[in-house]
Amino acid sequence: MSVRQVAYRNARLIDPDSGFDGPGEVLTRGRLIADFGADIFSGGIAEGTEIVDCGGQILCPGLVDMHVFTGEPGAEHKETLESVTACAAAGGITTLITLPNTQPVIDDVSLVEFVKRRARSRGIVTVHPMAAATQGLRGEAMTEIGLMRQAGAVAFTDGRKAIASAVLMRRLLSYASRFDALIVQHVEEPSLAQNGCVNEGEISTRLGLAGIPDVAEAMILERDLLLAELTGARYHAAQLSSARSVDIMRRAKRQGLPVSCGVSAAHLALNEFDIGSYRTFLKLSPPLRREEDRAALVGGVADGTIDVIVSAHDPQDQDSKRLPFAQAASGAVGLETLLAIALEPYHNGYTDLLTVLRALTVAPARLLGLDGGRIACGAPADLTLFDPGRPWVVRPKALHSKSKNTPFEDRRVQGIVSRTVVGGETVFEREESQNA
């Protein structure tokens, strides 16, 4: 037998797409899932098949993270396409989507191809690039959406920057709809967010920092949803941060608009007061907001208003973070803590496991038109094996990222990835004694 076969036995199999959750087994052949079910090996296992005993842990589709910044090209000292895939594998992520905010900006067919080629040759998980929606992220002229879509860009966004011009957003949505390309927006009105670095409220007053009001997010979200309605195009708000936005999105979905949204794991777990005494590792964009906002975001995940949970992995080195709060770069690494942090609302009883896993697998895969994120015959053999209850402590030094800017330093979390499989190959396996 030349094609590699692996049998995963003794697992709790969860497929959020079909809603299956129960004892099960999976057989992979080559790069694809060949069979799965409660008891597929009763007739014996073919000779030469590798057997993996899952030890009763959860085996689910590999996680898909649709919001990952890398340093390559341009800032390889912060993260390379190689190192980012190593973090992803350790976090149970089998497919990651890179953002175009690099140097140079990914706004051209050749650069889309560069990212894909580089990730394929150096990386250990699947990487799909998002390309810039506007040339040079300048927010003035649209990019070659059609050609870059054909070259493999899965969505179009200006990443950290909002597409501020209403007429440009309208034309982008309209133009992209011809290619069924997804436009992803950083929902923040730039003129209201100017110089802001924390939520506008008690925290901005106490710390004496310029604040960003939650309406900065709400108004651009409302505007974009109206434009999505006008154009009939698909639209995705990358990260919501406030209760107000969750309500707006809930209404839009009830109206039947083809729109979706995400939230970062950090925004589900932290609020503005965690910033404490100017801890720049908690300077995020959008900013962490009030506890009521955090709770509303969890509620949004629980009732399906929020479609996807992302890491918003944004590696920043000491030089960019050891600065006065206002001058420090925004962003936090998050690939390796994504699963454990996303599981917190489940452990705390606010939502069920299937809902959390759906937002980490099949939901982002569907939005981006990817084949993965589900356990089905013929689907890619991308799998994550994890122990949902096992406790561990986040230690920055143990992270695989070249940058250690985690907002979860020393946090006690539950749920750890023990094996990550991409295209039938195990790309990460945790030693029994190894923590994180």
Partner 1 sequence: MTRDGTTPPFKFPHRHLLGIKELSADEIGGLLDLADSYVALNRRIDKKQDLLRGRTQINLFFESSTRTQSSFELAGKRLGADVVNMSVSTSAIKKGETLIDTAMTLNAMHPDLLVVRHADSGAVELLSQKMDCPVINAGDGSNEHPTQALLDALTIRRRRGQLAGLLVAICGDILHSRVARSNIYLLNAMGARVRVVAPPTLQPAFAERLGVELFHDMREGLRDVDIVMMLRLQQERMHGAFVPSLREYFHFNGLDYDKLSLAKPDALIMHPGPMNRGVEIDSEVADDIDRSVIREQVEMGVAVRSAVLDLLSRHLPNNAETP
- Given the complex with partner 1, which of 259 and 360 has the nearer CB atom? 259
Using the contact rule CB under 8 A, the part of the chain among 172-180, 246-254, 286-294, 419-427 near partner 1 is 172-180
In 10-93, alpha helices (H): 81-90
φ and ψ at residue 159, rounded to 5 degrees: 65, -115
Quickly count: other Cβ atoms within 10 Å of residue 138's Cβ: 12
Query: Residue 233 and residue 18: Cα distance in Å, rounded?
Result: 27
Task: Select the residue interacting with partner 1 from 144, 247, 274, 317 (CB under 8 A).
Answer: 144
- Judge contact between 321 and 280, C-beta under 8 A: yes
What is the SS3 assignment for 207? Answer: helix
Task: Select the residue interacting with partner 1 from 174, 190, 223, 274 (CB under 8 A).
Answer: 174
- Given the complex with partner 1, which of 107 and 272 has the nearer CB atom? 107
Token pair 């209404």 is at which residue? 251
Instruction: Output the six-digit token pair for 153.
Output: 């860009």
φ and ψ at residue 265, rounded to 5 degrees: -55, -35
Task: Select the residue interacting with partner 1 from 175, 346, 392, 428 (CB under 8 A).
Answer: 175
- Specify the amino acid at residue 415: G
According to CB under 8 A, which residues from 76 to 135 bind partner 1? 134-135
Q: How big is the chain by its Cα radius of gyration, in Å? A: 21
Using the contact rule CB under 8 A, the part of the chain among 143-151, 210-218, 260-268, 372-380 near partner 1 is 143-151
- Given the complex with partner 1, which of 77 and 178 has the nearer CB atom? 178
- Given the complex with partner 1, which of 76 and 144 has the nearer CB atom? 144
The dihedral through the CA atoms of 99, 193, 224, 259 has a sign that is positive
Kindly state the smallest distance separating residue 145's Cβ from partner 1, in Å: 6
Using the contact rule CB under 8 A, the part of the chain among 75-83, 174-182, 287-295, 409-417 near partner 1 is 174-182
Kindly state the smallest distance separating residue 169's Cβ from partner 1, in Å: 12
Residues 6+ apart with CB under 8 A from 209: 196, 197, 198, 203, 325, 326
According to CB under 8 A, which residues from 221 to 240 bind partner 1? 231
What is the SS3 assignment for 21? Answer: strand
**Orientation angle between helical segments 291-302 and 243-254, nearest 10 degrees:** 30
- Tell me: does residue 140 bind partner 1 (CB under 8 A): yes
Count of residues of this chain found to bind partner 1 when the rule CB under 8 A is applied: 16
For residue 175, the 8-state DSSP code is H
Task: Select the residue interacting with partner 1 from 5, 98, 177, 316 (CB under 8 A).
Answer: 177
- Output the CA angle 345-242-337, nearest 5 degrees: 40
- Tell me: does residue 142 bind partner 1 (CB under 8 A): yes
Using the contact rule CB under 8 A, the part of the chain among 66-74, 173-181, 195-203, 327-335 near partner 1 is 173-181
Kindly state the smallest distance separating residue 137's Cβ from partner 1, in Å: 13
- Given the complex with partner 1, which of 49 and 174 has the nearer CB atom? 174
Task: Select the residue interacting with partner 1 from 77, 120, 178, 251 (CB under 8 A).
Answer: 178
Instruction: Output the six-digit token pair for 183.
Output: 């436009």
- Tell me: does residue 157 bind partner 1 (CB under 8 A): no
Nearest to 43 by CA among 97, 87, 7: 7
Kindly state the smallest distance separating residue 171's Cβ from partner 1, in Å: 5
Query: Residue 76 and residue 59: Cα distance in Å, rounded?
Result: 33
Kindly state the smallest distance separating residue 174's Cβ from partner 1, in Å: 4
Using the contact rule CB under 8 A, the part of the chain among 4-12, 90-98, 167-175, 295-303 near partner 1 is 167-175
Q: Can the peptide bond before residue 73 be classed as cis, meaning omega within 30 degrees of 0?
A: yes
Kindly state the smallest distance separating residue 392's Cβ from partner 1, in Å: 47
Q: How many residues does the chain have?
A: 436
Kindly state the smallest distance separating residue 253's Cβ from partner 1, in Å: 23
Binding site for partner 1 (CB under 8 A): 134-135, 140-147, 171, 174-175, 177-178, 231
